[in-house]
Structure formats: C-alpha cells, structure tokens
Amino acid sequence: MAGKIVAAVLVLLLWSGGASLASAVPPPTAQCAWQFMSNSTVLNVAFPDANATYWVLPYALASGDTIELSGTYPAARYFSLNTYGTNFDTVDTLRDNQIGPDPGSGNPFADAAAGSLPPAQKRWHATVVTGPADHARNQIQALPTGAGAQSVPVGFLIIRVYVPDDPASPTGGVPLPDVTLTSGGRTSPVPTCGSEFDPSAYDNGPLGQVAEAGFDQIIAGAASGAFPGNVPEATFVNPASTSGLFPNGDNKYVGAGLTYQPGRIVVVQGRAPTFPDTRAGQPVTTPDRQVRYWSMCQNDQLTPYPVVACAADFQTRTDGDGNYTYVVAAPQDVPARAASDPTVTVIPWGSTDVAKKVLFLRYMLPSDAFYPQSVQASQNNHTDPATTMGPYYPRSAYCDTATFEAGGSTACL
C-alpha cells in the first residue's frame, strides 16, 4: 500500500520526459528541477537538521536514461547528492570530496588551496545513472537493485547543503546545479523551479501539501520503527532503524525519547568532538578534526516529524575541558542559572501541546582516528553507545527546574 501511495504522489511530481512510466502516467503538474525545498520552515519533515537545506528532484528513469548535473562547489561545511527509492531509503550517496572537479577547476572540499579560486574554477559535473554507478566518474545510482528493486522506476535525488558560509544563502552562494535529462535517446535541459536564492519562493502550496501528505504515510511508519514504544526515556540509544526517513549516508544518530511535564527539564552533558569551523574561516580539510559536523536537535515525535531546533557544533557552548551542557526546556521552565551560564546551551522544547519529543545527536564523517568513539562505530557494530563513545556519550536526565537552579547541572546528573 505504501508504494502505491508514493507512486500516486510521484504522478504529480514527474517532469516531462518521464515517459518511461508509460502512457498510464498523466502529464506532470510541474516541469522543472529541484521542485521542492525542505528545511526547518518549509516542508519540515523527517527530522531535518536546522542548519541544512535540502532540495528534492523527483525522477522517472528507464534503463539507460541519465540525469546530468552541472554545478559549482558551494561555500559551505558540506554538500552531497543522495538518491532514494520509493521507500525513502538511501540508494546511493556521492559527497563533496568525492566529486571530481571539471578540467581547470579545483575542489575546495578535497584541496584547501582551491577555496580561493573564483567560482568559474570550482565547477563539477555528475551523472545519475540507472545501472551500477562508478563514483570515480562522478556517477550516482538512481534506483535500487537486487532484493530492493522496485516495481516502478521512480525515485528522488536530494542535494544537501550544511552550514553555508553566508547564513543568508542556503545554497552556499552558488546556483543549484543545472539539470539535463536524457530519456529515450532525447536530451533536453530542465529549468530550475523557483529561485534557489530565495527560500520564500518555495512555499507550502497545493503541490507541496500533496507531497507532504504522501511523505507522511511512509515517514510515520519509519519514525515509529526507529523509536518503538519500549525505548527508555531521557537515555540516548541507537535508533532501531532510520530507513524510510531520507537518511544521509554520511550521518549516524543516537536519540533519546522525551515527554513534557511542567517544571521539568532535560539536562545533557558530553564531550564535544572537534570540527572544522567553516563560519570562522577554517577549511573543511583542516587536519586533526574528529568529525566534519555534529549537532544536537530537538524534534516532534509526531507526523510529519519536524525539527523544533538544533544547536550545531559552532553554536554549542563548551567549558574549558571541551564538554557541553544542554538544557532542553519550555520557555517558562528554563532556569535562570542555565540562561546565564556561558557553558550551557539552551534548546527549546517547542510546543508543549506535542508531549512526545526525540532528541538526536548527529555525527557526520568521523575521522579514522576518532571512529572507535563515534556514533558510527556504535551503530555499525551494534554496540551500546554508552560504552563505545566513552566521554563523548551524551549523558542525560530529567531534572526539576528548581533543582538545577539550586545546584546546576551536577545536581541533575
């Protein structure tokens, strides 16, 4: 049933040239690329990170069809191309430092010296293919194969941009990639929808509402599977699964379920991994960093599973030993002591009408040296993160506002 729901939504999304679905597919509603943008305010679904923006390109490809992308490396902490099937699970990931530059261009995600090049010398091309992809040739696989093969040749391409150097430019100061579709031997450019420099151009209009309704059907099941009802509260554990939540192949998560009670807060402490602070001018290739990016995000555990707020690495306060303390609380419950403490980061609870929340710690691309203590190691090895992560594990507990006011975080933990 879920596949039928997604297929019905995709009928509204496919651009012209998607005739590979056969004549049963009616004409598409829109005929442009990057039709949907998702962030913390627009199409806020499936637990996005508040410091990232996602652009979605639905497609229908017959065997041998391709999508050619032509873009400019953004000025940002991270960007990647990800493909997904109709179950919203990852098919393939091609990230920034894997995308080889055009002749005469440089890749600032692989070579710090390329960061000073003009945009015309930071160009790249990539190709979405229906068969096995060769990442060395900047290819990304469009559709699942083998046991995961679909009955319809449709999917989604998502481009992610995390922490652009200019907060006002979610694309990282460059246009979204140009798109060219080759289908049935015919090649044609696909114009870009809206304005990539103006997030307000992407609104929750009728088409977006239909898409969100369709997404909800799959995402609701995936989210309930990730955190089933027996997960202990205020304790970070590995999700049972992130399948169906548009997962990024470069991220892993631990999460804690929370329930609101008046006068009660959540306190979280742990060691902060080092990272390249690109907003402060450090290149992504900065040596000895432990992760490319990390964040702590508060999310509603209610469809469409939106993010409430995040504190990214560069937004998180730490003490002299590099440890963070978060206080998650509704405005009326925030202790004055927490608000005034320069080592404490307050994350809002969000609407108290939504009693159930999920707090996620997200790690991206740990270094080889840091990997044994990373979320990735715990996830991949199916081990208890409290043991694997050591001091980097986020210890958490419920606490009364009055208790924190009297004794600080140590009184709570």
Looking at per-residue confidence, does 400 or 145 come out higher?
400
CATH numbers and ranges of domains, the chain: 2-203 (no CATH), 228-412 (2.60.120)
279 burial (CB, 10 Å; 0-12 / 13-18 / 19+) is middle
Measured CA to CA, the distance from residue 16 to residue 31 in angstroms comes to 6
Average pLDDT of the segment spanning 304-315: 90
Q: Is the pLDDT of residue 361 over 80?
A: yes
Tens digits of residue pLDDT in 101-142: 999 999 999 999 999 999 999 999 999 999 899 999 999 999
Q: Assess contact for 396 and 235: CB atoms under 8 A.
A: yes
Average pLDDT of the segment spanning 366-387: 94
Residues 6+ apart with CB under 8 A from 241: 222, 225, 226
pLDDT for 240: 63
Looking at per-residue confidence, does 87 or 297 come out higher?
297
Looking at per-residue confidence, does 33 or 70 come out higher?
70
Measured CA to CA, the distance from residue 199 to residue 176 in angstroms comes to 12
Average pLDDT of the segment spanning 315-321: 97
Q: Is the pLDDT of residue 338 over 60?
A: yes
Q: Is the pLDDT of residue 374 over 90?
A: yes
Q: Is the pLDDT of residue 384 over 50?
A: yes
Tens digits of residue pLDDT in 214-262: 556 556 665 556 565 566 789 999 876 555 557 788 999 998 999 999 9
Mean pLDDT of the chain: 83
Measured CA to CA, the distance from residue 103 to residue 88 in angstroms comes to 34
